[in-house]
Structure 1
Amino acid sequence: MSVQDPCAAEPGRGVDTDDLRTAIAAVEARPSSSSDLPPLAPEAHEAATAALRLLRHRPRSRHELRERLLGKDHAPDAVDEALDRVRAWGLLDDADFASEWVRGRRRRRGRSRGALERELREKGVAEVHIAGAVAGIDEADDRQQATELVRARLSRSPVDSGPGADLQGERRRLVAFLARRGYPTGLAMTVVDAELAAQVSP
C-alpha cells in the first residue's frame, strides 16, 4: 500500500462516507511511481496512514482528526504534514465536512440551527465554515422542522384528551423532546401548544 499519491477526488466534492471510502481506496491503490507530490517524511507517512484508517469510519474535521492522531502519539509536526497531504488528496475539507454534517444531522436527527452550530464548534470547525453550512436555515425553517418532529411523535403516540388526561405532562415531555434537539424554549412551547391544540380540538 502506498499513501504517497494524490487522490482523484477534488476538494469541494462534499463529504459522503461511501464516496470517502472509495477515494481512500483510490489513494491506496495508486502506485508510488504515479505520485506528483514529494514523498512524506517517515513519521508523516505513518500519521497519514493512520488518518486514512480513521477516515474510513466517517468523515472528520481537521481538528478532530488532528486530536485523534496526537492521541495516538504521533508527533505534532508529522501530524500537520500528514493532514496537509490528506487535504491535498481531497479527503479533508472543513467546509465540506460542515455542510454534510448539517445536512445529515438535520435530516436524521432534526437538529436545530443552534445545536448544529454548537456541534461543529465542538469539532473545531472555523466559524466561517459553520456560517456557510447553516446559512440556509432561518427561524422559519427551525419552526417548520420542530413542527414536523412534534407531529411525527404525536402520530406515533396520540394525545389522550379524555377525562383525567395529563395534557400538561404531555406538553412538558414534548418541549423537553425539542430542547434535546437544540430548539429554544420559546419556540418549542409555541410549536407544542399549537400541535396539542390541533390534536385535542373537536
Structure 2
Amino acid sequence: MKKRLSTILAVMFMAVILIPFTPVQAASTDVTGKMAGNREIKNISKMMTAYTTAMNLSEQSTTRPVKMKLNDNAKLSIAVFVRYNYKGDYSYTAKELRSETKKLFGKSASVNNIRNKKNKNHAMLVCSSNSKYYKDPYMYCGGDFGDVIPDYKITKVTRTGKNIYTVTTQNRLGCYGEKGRTNIGTTTLKLKKTAAGYVVKGVRYQYNGK
C-alpha cells in the first residue's frame, strides 16, 4: 500500500512539474461608449494625436507603422510640443520640464541630453536658449502648424487590464477658412490610470500618405 501510494504521489509530482503554469489573462473589453467622452482621456488623446500628426507632416514622415520609443529625448520633445501648442509657452526651466514629463508619462525625464553648443541632438524639439533673449535655460525649437489645424477623433477605447486602456484615434487635418477635415492616419495610445490621472505608456501611429 505504501509503495502504491508513493508511486501515485510521484506521478502527481511529475504532472505538476511537466504542466507549465499559464497565467490567466483578462479579456479585453470595449469601453468606447463609456470612456470616449472622459475629459482626461479626450485631453491627452488630443495632445498626443496632434504630436503624431506633426510627425506625419515632418521630414520624418513615413507610411510604415511607427512604434515610438518613449525615452527621455522623446518625452521632452512631446512635453515642449504640448506646452508650446496648448499653453503658449516657449521657454522652460528644468523643473518645468521634469514636471511636464511626469504629468504626461508618470515619470520625470532627465534634461541632461538637451542639446547645446557641444551636444547637437537635432531630433529633439527642445534646446538650450540664448540667455540674451530668454531668461529660462531651455526653449522650444520645433515648428508650428501655420494655417493647418490638427484635429482628432476617438474611434475606440479598450480596457486591456487593471487601469490599463488602449485608445485609438484618427489623425485629422483641416485648414483655417475651409470646411471639413481630412483623415491622414491613426494613433494608438496605451494609457494607465493613476492616482494623479491618465499617463501615456505607449504610442503607435501610422500615416496613410494623404
TM range (shorter): under 0.3
TM-score when normalising by structure 2: 0.25
Structure with greater helix share of residues: 1
Q: Which has the higher contact order (CA 8 A, sep 6+)?
A: 2
TM-score when normalising by structure 1: 0.25
